[in-house]
Amino acid sequence: MGRKILFITTDQQRYDSLGCNGNRFCRTPAIDALAKDGINYARAYNQNTVCMPARSTMLTGQYVRTHGVFANGVPLPESAPSVAQYLKDKAGYKTALIGKAHFEPGFDMAGKWRENRRQMEGDFGPWRGFDYAIHAMHITSFRGNPAGHYGRWMQKNHPECFNTSAPLLNASPGGDTGAPETMNNPVPRAFYHTDWLADLAVEWLNKLDSDEDWFLWLSFPDPHHPWDPPASENKRCDWRDLPLPEGYPGPPEKIREVLAQKPAHWLAYYDGTFANIEGGPMNFTPQMLSHDNIREINAKVHVMNELIDEAVGRVMAKVKAKGWDADTDVIFTTDHGELQGDFGFVYKGPFHVDALMRLPFIWRPAPNAKVAPAAVAQPVEQVDLAPAFCAIAGVEPAEWMQGKVLPTSEDGTRQRAICEWDSQFPGYGFHLRSIYRDGFMLTRYEPSTSTPNGLEETWPQFAAITCKVRYDGSEGELYDLKNDPLQWRNLWSDSKHKSLKSDMIADLYDHLPPERKPKLKVEAPA
């Protein structure tokens, strides 16, 4: 027998969102306990800063350029490898995915992709190696249609709550301050997706025999926007009591001073001449944000994170009640972060900084494994998750997995982490390649392209959107994270760091795997 595996993920959660990582504004005792008894990785990085590429890496154990999902809107082929299927085949694990999947484009009302068609057909598995798979998105409905199994359940059982979510990817004002994509959501907490998913996880665990090995991926859609937790819970964190985040530079002139040191699309986003439609709403410009908007967004994020923590606590209590805790490994992480006021921005996108790349990442090994608690500062990556699951299950990693088993101590076995960005809109054509190493973060901007990528075949109105910002390959970013943790001072053109820059660029390209050919097509705008 292997050990049981509880894999918990969130969506768009910052490293500093947890008490164990320094957060002072929300309470996360259940997750903090996992960190106290396990390994807390201080420098864990994703392989892409948006959902589908990052999630495809977690499922396949492959870098983005290998599995091919280089952007949202590129569906992961159904033939792609799955660590869940591997655990089933090699170790006899029972498997489930409960929550957000997003390996295929969302908001597919026609059911073109199976992930979206499944809720229409009442299909709960098997799917992509999971015996049981039930999906929830951030909202219940999209243009009047149910979003995921959760939306279908809400429509059937609580129709009065079917359309209470704030509009997703629409910067319409809401909440107390008129902040974009916020709402004082009237949905009862018991019907909100966080508690709904915890209930389903407990239900699935109850159906298992005591001697079965299992792999449960419990995937919460929060704290991703829209920022609309149940209004009954907003009292947990009053936005009026929050300071502006440390990464907020200050008045507009200071924001522009910081952004002017970075490649052109940073300042252009702030000024409204660059539309960040690959990472947020088309109708949003950061200058729209007031200080109170940022405070309210952050307050609602803290509430969402507290609800996640309580859901984690409930599931852990069930694991203990079943007598499994001593033989259960728990890994907690997310797909990517959120800017949340840093640099005067919210949302995500082609911004390779710690706010989006650095992840909360905790492994609580099964107590029976007798692994000493540790804090590990050397870099690890999402691509390492699949080999870690294999090690827990007692099987060799598959040959198609590209990561390494996670270190359990500061053993010096890891030197770097790699992250990439490729635009899904051919008229944008950004290509960012990043490496973290030795306390520095470097991002090289490859030359912009305007190459058709498939979107013009299915969504020509989006493929026709162009971006005035173009890069010739000489641009980039270099940050000394020890002396400049907020990443306000770009050292790319600093003569004192010329040698380091050259060395890190060479190291980056030495460790990028070959790119999948032919490239997968972009088939949808999200």
Bin 125: left if φ > 0, else alpha if -120 < ψ < 50, else beta: left
Q: Read off the CATH number of the domain in which 454 is found.
A: 3.40.720.10
Each of the 526 residues of the chain gets a pLDDT tens digit; together they read: 679 999 999 999 999 999 999 999 999 999 999 999 999 999 999 999 999 999 999 999 999 999 999 999 999 999 999 999 999 999 999 999 999 999 999 888 899 999 999 999 999 999 999 999 999 999 999 889 999 999 999 999 999 999 988 888 889 999 999 999 999 999 999 999 999 999 999 999 999 999 999 999 999 999 999 999 999 999 999 999 999 999 999 999 999 999 999 999 999 999 999 999 999 999 999 999 999 999 999 999 999 999 999 999 999 999 999 999 999 999 999 999 999 999 999 999 999 999 999 999 999 999 999 999 999 999 999 999 999 999 999 999 999 999 999 999 999 999 999 999 999 999 999 999 999 999 999 999 999 999 999 999 999 999 999 999 999 999 999 999 999 999 999 999 999 999 999 999 999 999 999 999 999 999 999 8
pLDDT at 137: 95
Task: Report the C-alpha gap between 58 and 411 in whole angstroms.
Answer: 24
Nearest to 165 by CA among 183, 146, 179, 190: 183
CB 205 within 8 A of CB 84: no
Please state the domain count of the chain.
1
- Classify burial at 19, counting beta carbons within 10 Å of its beta carbon; exposed 0-12, middle 13-18, buried 19 or more: middle
- The per-residue pLDDT for range 428-461, each reduced to its tens digit, is 999 999 999 999 999 999 999 999 999 999 999 9
Query: What is the DSSP code (8-state) at residue 436?
Result: E
Nearest to 350 by CA among 440, 431, 459, 242: 431
Domain-embedded: residue 267:
yes
Supply φ then ψ for residue 129, to 5 degrees: 90, -5
- Residue 38, domain extent: 4-511
Helices (H) and strands (E) in the chain, counts: 15, 19
Q: Is the dihedral of CA 345, 347, 348, 354 positive or negative?
A: positive
Task: Report the C-alpha gap between 504 and 7 in whole angstroms.
Answer: 33
Domain-embedded: residue 525:
no
CB 26 within 8 A of CB 306: yes
Task: Report the C-alpha gap between 221 and 135 in whole angstroms.
Answer: 10
Domain-embedded: residue 183:
yes
Domain-embedded: residue 523:
no
CB 407 within 8 A of CB 388: no
Domain-embedded: residue 18:
yes
Query: What is the DSSP code (8-state) at residue 325?
Result: G
Q: Which residues of 217-255 are buried (b: 16+ CB within 10 A; e: fewer)?
A: bbbbbbbbbbbbbbbebbebbebeebeebebbbeeeeeb
Encode 206-247 in three state secondary structure.
HCCCCCCCEEEEEEEEEECCCECCEHHHHHHCCHHHCCCCCC
Domain-embedded: residue 524:
no
Per-position DSSP letters for 22-58, written without gaps between them:
T--SS--HHHHHHHHHSEEETTEE-S-SSHHHHHHHH
Its pTM stands at 0.98
Supply φ then ψ for residue 179, to 5 degrees: -70, 145
Q: Is the dihedral of CA 6, 7, 13, 15 positive or negative?
A: positive
Domain-embedded: residue 520:
no
- The per-residue pLDDT for range 187-201, each reduced to its tens digit, is 999 999 999 999 999
Domain-embedded: residue 141:
yes
Task: Report the C-alpha gap between 224 and 246 in whole angstroms.
Answer: 20
